[in-house]
Amino acid sequence: MRLDVAAWISREELFPEQGPVLVAVSGGPDSTALLAVLAGLAGHRGVVPVAVYVDHGLRADTELDWRAVTASAARVGTACLRVEAAVGSGPGLEARARVARYAALERATNEQGAVAIATGHTADENVETVLLNLLRGAGLDGLAGIPPRRGRVVRPLLRVWKAEAIELCAVSGLPVRFDPMNADLRFARVQVRTRVLPLLERANPAVREVLARQAELLRDDAAFLEAQVPAGAFACENGGVRFTAAVLAHAEPAIARRIVRAGLRALTGRQWGSAADVDAVLGVARSGGRTGLMAGLAARRRAGDVVVFRARGRPAPSLTSPPTRREASA
C-alpha cells in the first residue's frame, strides 16, 4: 500500500489503549484487508485484533460470508467470533442495518472487554460520504467526511483506496465476498459510486483525490471550531439539557451552533445533524417562546436559560434509531 498504515495509526492516535480490538469483517475486500493489516500490526501499541462477523439476517448466503471470514481469520492468525444483529422495520434499510450493526458491535465490545471497534471504511467511502452529505445540504462537519475515530470506533483504512484493499487481499490469498447490495441502484450511495463520481471524473480525473484531501482539510477546521466551544456551555439535567440564553445569543454563529449540537448530542446519545432544529433553539435564545423539535423534543425559554426537554405525549429521543433525512442534513 502507498500509505504507511502503521504510521498513520500512530499519528491519529487511533489506539490509545492496549487490549483487544474488534475488527468488523463482512467478508468483503475492505474489511478483510483491514483484518490483514491489523494482524500484521499485532502487538503494535498492545493491539490484539479479533475478527467479528455481524450477521444481519438479510441474505440467504450469510453462511458463505461467515466461512470466508473464518478462513481469512485463520490465515492471518486471529480469533474470530460471530454476532447477530436484528434489523428493525421501517424505511431506510441501509441506515437501519448500520444502527443494528453498531449496536451488536458495541455489545460484543463490552462482552469481550475490547478497547475499540475497527471498521474497513476506505478513502472511496469517505469520498462517497462527502458527496452524499453535500447533496443533503451538509455543513462543515458533514463535508469533513468520515472521522478516523469517533468514540470507540476507529477506521484505520480511511486513507487507503478500495483498489489497494482488493489488491492486498489478492496478494495475500485471502478469500473475499461481494455483497450484491453494493450494486443495488435503489441505494443513494450506489448511485453516487456508479453514476455521479464517473461523471465528475470526466471534468476532473483526480476528483476523488481532491475530495478526499478537501475533507481532511475541513476536518481540521471543524476540530478547531469544536475546541472553541466553552466549557460549561450547557448542562444535562432532569432528562433535558439547559443552555444559557445570553451565551447562545451573543456567541459567534458558528460557535453557537456547535454549542447547541453538543448539548443535543449529549442529550440524545447520537450525532445531531438537523440544521433546522439547531436554528430553532437559537431562535428561542434570541426571542423566547417555545418550539417543537424532532425526536420528540421541544425547546423553551425559562428565565435566562433555554431548556430542551421531552415534549409531553411524544416519544423519547431514541439512542439507537437512525437519523431521518432531515436530521442528517446538517
Tell me which residue of 261, 303, 265, 256 sits closest to 283, measured CA to CA: 256
Which part of the chain has CATH 1.20.59.20? 234-310
| Maximum CA extent, the chain | 66
Quick one: angle between helices 253-268 and 207-227, nearest 10?
90
- pLDDT exceeding 70 applies to what percent of the chain? 92
Q: To the nearest 10°, report the CA torsion of 131, 133, 137, 143.
A: -80
The type of residue at 260 is V
Q: Which of 53-62, 130-139, 211-220 has the highest mean pLDDT?
A: 211-220
Return the SS3 of 150: strand
**Alpha-carbon gap, residue 318 to 320, rounded angstroms:** 5
**What is the CATH architecture assignment of 234-310?**
Up-down Bundle (1.20)
- Tell me, rounded to whole angstroms, the distance of Cα 36 from its chain centroid: 22
**Domain boundaries 5-218, CATH class:** alpha beta
Q: To the nearest 10°, report the CA torsion of 270, 274, 275, 276.
A: -140
pLDDT, tens digit, 9 for 90 and up, residues 117-127: 999 999 999 99
pLDDT, tens digit, 9 for 90 and up, residues 274-318: 788 899 999 999 999 999 988 789 999 998 999 999 876 544 443
Which part of the chain has CATH 3.40.50.620? 5-218
pLDDT, tens digit, 9 for 90 and up, residues 49-69: 999 999 887 777 889 999 999
* DSSP structural state of residue 91: S
What are the Cα distances from residue 229, in Å, to 178, 223, 249, 266, 269? 43, 10, 14, 14, 18
